Structure formats: structure tokens, C-alpha cells
Amino acid sequence: MKDITKKYTNGEVTIIWKPAACIHSTICWKEATGLPQVFDPRVKPWIKPEGDTTENMIAQVNKCPSGALSYIMNTDEPRMAEVEAESIVEVMPDGPLLVFGNITIKDKDGSEVKKNNVTAFCRCGQSGNKPYCDGTHKKVGFVG
């Protein structure tokens, strides 16, 4: 999958979305957990930053389990939610391996990427964005 980054702004905050990192958890747009007036995958563009307050959108972006959503205040550098906790690994039923906390990922060539908040790793082996989960486990019916 291409490394695409999309940005949506209300003038005060810019929401950044990286589709390749998205695991389609639905946390951002489901009624019980999300802001459907901002995040609506049924329409284009699917992010409407004028749909709620900056504070509510920042709080919602901070809940993104994959880090596909981040934000910048229009006077800041990009940032993800900072985590001050020990690392925790959680196996999602029929889904990815979630690693909570600050981690460094080293690829086969020795390049390092620092991640914080939550990182979702593929368990089904079918992701087009390995080692990260891209939601393919749902399409292939992964059970594990």
C-alpha cells in the first residue's frame, strides 16, 4: 500500500490520516465510541473537522489504536498522543497484536521507527503493510 498522508483542517487543528496504518477499528466513527459528525467513512471526504470542537477531535484522535490518526495544532509540529506507561501487549481476538506504550521498531534493513500510543501488528500474515495490521484479517476471516 502506498504511503499516503491526508490532512484535514478547521483552521485551528489539522487532523492527519495515514490510510496504510489504519486497522479499521471503527473507534473514530461508531456512535458509542466516536465522533460520527467528524468521521464518516460513507462520504468523501470522510473527515470533516468542522463537525465538532477542536478539543473533542483531539480527544478522539488520541483514542486511535493504530496511530493512523494524529493531529497538529496549526502552530505545532505533528505529534501523536504521548504515553507515560510501561509497554503492554494485547492480543485482539481474531485481530492484530496491539502494543501499548513507547517502542522502537527496527526493520530488516536496520532502519528504526519510534512509535507511541498504540501500535497494531499483523497476526494473520496477510497485511499489505507488514509488520503493521491493515485490517486484512477481517477480509480473510482470520481466527486466532
Mean pLDDT of the chain: 85
What domains sit in the chain, N to C, each tagged with a CATH number?
A: 6-73 (3.30.70), 88-139 (3.40.5)
Q: What is the mean pLDDT of residues 101-129?
A: 85
Q: Which of 86, 97, 89, 93 is nearest to 122 (CA)?
A: 97
Q: What is the mean pLDDT of residues 90-113?
A: 86
Residue count of the chain, please give it: 144
Greatest mean pLDDT among 36-40, 74-78, 102-106 lies in: 36-40
pTM reported for the whole predicted model: 0.58
Judge contact between 22 and 66, C-beta under 8 A.
Answer: yes
Joined together, the cell numbers standing for residue 102 give 513507547
Q: What is the mean pLDDT of residues 56-82?
A: 80
